[in-house]
Amino acid sequence: MFKAIIVDDEKGGRDNLEALLKSFPNISIIAKAGNIKEAQKALEIDKPDVLFLDIEMPGGNGFDLLEKLGNIDFDVIFTTAYDHYAIKAIKYSALDYLLKPIDPTDLETAIKRFTNKLKDQPLTNTKLKTLFNNVSTESANQKIIIHDGEGLNFIRIKDIIRFHSEGSYTDIYIVGNQKPIFISRPINEYEDLLSNEAFYRIHRSHFINLQHVKKYVKGDGGYVIMSDNSKVEVARRKRNEFIQILSSSTF
């Protein structure tokens, strides 16, 4: 049996999640809180296994609560209706979140993920630390967490030079690293994740950071030379759009 606490400033939000959680017999709700203060009190009385935490609340948001608590020894699933900036920061930090109104299948996936994984609190704490960094700094200094065979990598977005996919695998080239990080995920996932940053898909296999482009050499599609002197091909079809983006250079 897993113990859960729900934090949401709106009663409707708390009741709705409680009702949806009734279909999961292995989750029991030990407390519901309407603001940070109530949440802190509830956490003093009994420690949960998982905290469902709304982000936007009057009198201090969800991140403030976690920062106040310091060391976290439970899992956190964020809930929010619409806050693009916060969701981006959470995604980068590889933490879990649910969008309101809550889709029952999304909820089921999140709970499966939480119950399946071994309790790994140091991991949650590092992820949260990255999240706090991401919400407090400007976009370019934000970090993303990338899981590869060797563990977690904390990478500053502006240090990513490019992604190179070989079908089902992706190599990520980083400033200062001789060898790329090798991931068993397709390139699209990173394209979605970084869609708001200065990145551009110039080729079926190449997704590059525009800030690391040193030179564009014209040709059929042409190619770019990146800051690490690597040569990356531009697809013929992408050429015009790419040149347009390069010349507008608002990134």
Partner 1 sequence: MLSSYAQQPSFKNFKSNTSPYLQFNDVVIFQNNVLFITNEGLFKFEKEAIVQVLQKENLSKFIVVNKQLFIWSIFGEIYEFKNKKLHTFPFNTLLSKRLENSIINTMIYSDSSFYISTIVGSQVIQVDLRTETIKTLTQFRQNPYFITQFGKKLITGTNQNTTKNELAIYLTETPFFIPLADENSNSKSNIIQLKDNTYLFTKQHEVIRFNSSSLINRIFSEKNIEAIHQDRENKIWCALNNGGIIVYADGNLKESNSTRYLGNQTVISIAEDTLGNLWFGTSGNGVYLLEKNEIESVNSNTINYKTPHIFSNTNTENEKIQSKFIIKNLPLIKEDASFAAVSSPSRIISIKESFPDSISPIVFVNSIKINGIDTTTLSHYELSYQFNSIELTISGVNSNKSDLQYKYILEGKDVNWTYSVSTSVYYASLQPGYYTFKVFAMNDSGIWSRTPAIVTFNISQPFYASIWFILSGILLLIVLLFIVLFFINKQNQQKNKLLEEQKQKILFSELQVLRNQMNPHFIFNTLNSIQSFITNNESKDAVIYLSKFAKLMRATLANTKRQKISLKDEIDTLRLYLELEQLRLNNKFSYEIIVDDKIDIHYEQVPSMLIQPYVENAIWHGISTLEGKGIIRVQFLLEKENLLKCIIEDNGIGREQAMKTKKSTSTSFGMSITKERIEILNSLEGSNLTIKVHDLTKNNKPAGTRIELFLPI
Residue 148 CB, nearest approach to partner 1 (Å): 8
Q: Using the minimum distance from each CB to partner 1, give the nearer residue, 28 or 184.
A: 184
Q: Using the minimum distance from each CB to partner 1, give the nearer residue, 191 or 228.
A: 191
Bridge partners, residue 50, by sequence: 4, 75
Q: Using the minimum distance from each CB to partner 1, give the nearer residue, 70 or 151.
A: 151
DSSP 76-142: EEEEESS-HHHHHHHHHTT-EEEESSPPHHHHHHHHHHHHHSPP-HHHHHHHHHHHHHHHHS-GGG-
Q: Using the minimum distance from each CB to partner 1, give the nearer residue, 65 or 107.
A: 107
Q: Distances in Å between the alpha carbon of 112 and those of 73, 94, 109, 243? A: 19, 16, 5, 45
Residue 122 CB, nearest approach to partner 1 (Å): 16
Q: Using the minimum distance from each CB to partner 1, give the nearer residue, 41 or 236.
A: 236
Residue 66 CB, nearest approach to partner 1 (Å): 25
Q: Using the minimum distance from each CB to partner 1, give the nearer residue, 3 or 185.
A: 185
> Please, which residues have CB within 8 angstroms of residue 193's CB and are 6 or more apart in sequence?
91, 92, 144
Task: Compute the distance between CA of residue 238 and CA of residue 221 in angstroms, rounded to an integer.
Answer: 8
Task: Compute the distance between CA of residue 32 and CA of residue 79 in angstroms, rounded to an integer.
Answer: 14
Task: Compute the distance between CA of residue 94 and CA of residue 201 in angstroms, rounded to an integer.
Answer: 22
> Please, which residues have CB within 8 angstroms of residue 120's CB and are 6 or more apart in sequence?
none
Residue 236 CB, nearest approach to partner 1 (Å): 8
Residue 205 CB, nearest approach to partner 1 (Å): 8
Bridge partners, residue 53, by sequence: 7, 78
Q: Using the minimum distance from each CB to partner 1, give the nearer residue, 32 or 201.
A: 201
Rounded to the nearest angstrom, the gap between the alpha carbon of residue 7 and the centroid of all alpha carbons in its chain is 21
Residue 37 CB, nearest approach to partner 1 (Å): 30
Nearest to 218 by CA among 250, 185, 246, 248: 246
Residue 76 CB, nearest approach to partner 1 (Å): 20
By CB under 8 A, name the binding residues for partner 1.
Answer: 20, 82, 99-106, 112, 149-151, 166-168, 182, 184-186, 188, 191, 201, 204, 237
